[in-house]
């Protein structure tokens, strides 16, 4: 069965710095009108960066939306029209100071399909060499090293709660397992 919801009317409620808020009246599949509130966002990139001794680089930063620190993979927003691969290289260096010889696209995914029009591109970075981190002016970031097993223990115990890190580590694990 193919479903579709026709847009009856569309209102841009808010145009902001990183997101827009859209409100649409739609006709549902069952033939009833419904309101859909949706967020437009340029999307971003997330990186699983693995060192030569099999450590994965994680970053910790304060997240205002949650009012707490979060342990996450390196990641960043896409500028409008920016090539995700270039953004991946940039964010890895900005947030961690590392450069990667190999940056492989793994997959892309949607963090919250119910109301967010945002796509995240996930990359696997290897062949790393250390330089100097230089985060954006409004970012303050610490880096940490973990093995995959340690990160999976954190996920299983509920101590790694960042969605993009869970999605990206899963994709990396599946990729690394199938390469063996």
CB of 100 to its own copies, least distance (A): 21
CB of 101 to its own copies, least distance (A): 23
Nearer to its own copies, 52 or 68 (CB): 68
Tokens of 64: 């205002």
CB of 26 to its own copies, least distance (A): 6
Nearer to its own copies, 6 or 129 (CB): 6
Nearer to its own copies, 92 or 120 (CB): 120
Contact 173, 80 (CB under 8 A): no
CA 152 to chain centre: 18
Centre a 10 Å sphere on the Cβ of residue 118 and count the other Cβ atoms it contains.
Answer: 19
Nearer to its own copies, 24 or 94 (CB): 24
Return d(Cα 142, Cα 109) in angstroms, integer: 26
Return d(Cα 69, Cα 58) in angstroms, integer: 13
CB of 163 to its own copies, least distance (A): 4
Residue 155 is given by DSSP the state H
Return d(Cα 106, Cα 93) in angstroms, integer: 19
């Amino acid at each position: 069965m193919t479903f579709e919801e026709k847009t009856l009317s569309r209102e841009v409620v808010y145009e902001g710095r990183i997101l827009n808020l859209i409100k649409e009246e739609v006709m549902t599949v069952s033939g009833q009108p419904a309101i859909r509130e949706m967020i437009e966002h340029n999307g971003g990139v997330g990186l699983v960066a693995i060192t030569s001794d099999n450590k994965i680089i994680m970053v910790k930063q304060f997240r205002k939306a949650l009012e707490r620190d979060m342990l996450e993979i390196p990641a960043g927003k896409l500028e409008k029209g920016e090539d995700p691969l270039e953004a991946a290289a940039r964010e890895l260096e900005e947030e961690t100071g590392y450069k990667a010889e190999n940056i492989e696209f793994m997959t892309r995914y949607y963090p919250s399909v119910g109301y967010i029009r945002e796509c995240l591109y996930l990359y696997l970075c290897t062949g790393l060499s250390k330089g100097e981190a230089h985060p954006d002016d409004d970012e303050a970031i610490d880096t940490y090293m973990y093995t995959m097993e340690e990160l999976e223990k954190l996920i299983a115990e509920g101590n790694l709660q960042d969605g993009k890190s869970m999605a990206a580590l899963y994709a990396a694990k599946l990729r690394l397992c199938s390469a063996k």
